[in-house]
A = this chain, B = another copy of it.
Amino acid sequence: MTPRAIQDDYPDEIAICYGCGRHNPKGLHIKTFWDGKEGVFRFKPAPYHTAFPGVVYGGLIASLIDCHSIGTAIAAAYEAEKRRPGSDPEITYVTGNLNVSYLNPTPMGVELTLRSHVKEMGPRKSVVVCAVYAGDKKCAEGEVTAVRILSRLNAI
C-alpha cells in the first residue's frame, strides 16, 4: 500500500499551495508522513534551488520547514481528536511564525530528510519543531507556530 501523506487528505479547493498542494503543478509537493509521533519528509532539491555553488537555498529550506510543520500540526490534531485525517470538520492551521536557524551549509545533490514533532498543542495553536538533515548532518532547525482556524477557506 502506498503510504498516505496528510496533504493527500487536504480538501481539493485548498490543495493549491505552492509548497504542499497536490493541485499546484509548479509547486514543491511537500508531503508529511506522520507515524503518531514524528512527521517525516524527504526531498531532493532541484539544481536551480541553489544559494551559491554547492549549497541549497535557505528560502527553500524555510519553505520545506513551513509546510511540513503545518502538515505535522494537522496530522497530530486529527490524532488527538481520534479522527481520520481529512474527516469533517476539516482541521487546518496557518503559519503564525516561522523561525529557522541555519546551522551548517546544506549540500546540493543529496536527498534531505525533515523530521518534525509537536512541542506544544493548545486549542488555538500548536508549536512544531522541525530539523533538516543531509545524511547524519543537521543543517537547519525550525520552529513553527501553527494557528488553528476554522477552515483555510475562511482566511480568504
Contacts and interface: CB of A to CB of B under 8 A. Distances in A.
Interface of A: 13-14, 16-19, 21, 24-27, 48-55, 57-60, 62-64, 66-67, 94-102, 105, 152-153, 155-156
Copies in the complex: 2
A153 B48 contact: no
A66 B65 CA distance: 15
Contact of A51 (B17, B60, B98, B101): B17
A156 B153 CA distance: 43
Contacts of A19: 51, 57-59
Nearest to A48: B26
Contacts of A27: 48
A25 B46 CA distance: 13
A94 B57 CA distance: 11
A26 B99 CA distance: 26
Contacts of A98: 58, 62, 98-100, 102
Nearest to A63: B59
Given A49-B18, A97-B101, A100-B97, A155 B55 contact: yes
A18 B105 contact: no
Contacts of A58: 19, 66, 94-95, 98
Contacts of A96: 101-102
Contacts of A97: 99-102
A62 B63 CA distance: 8
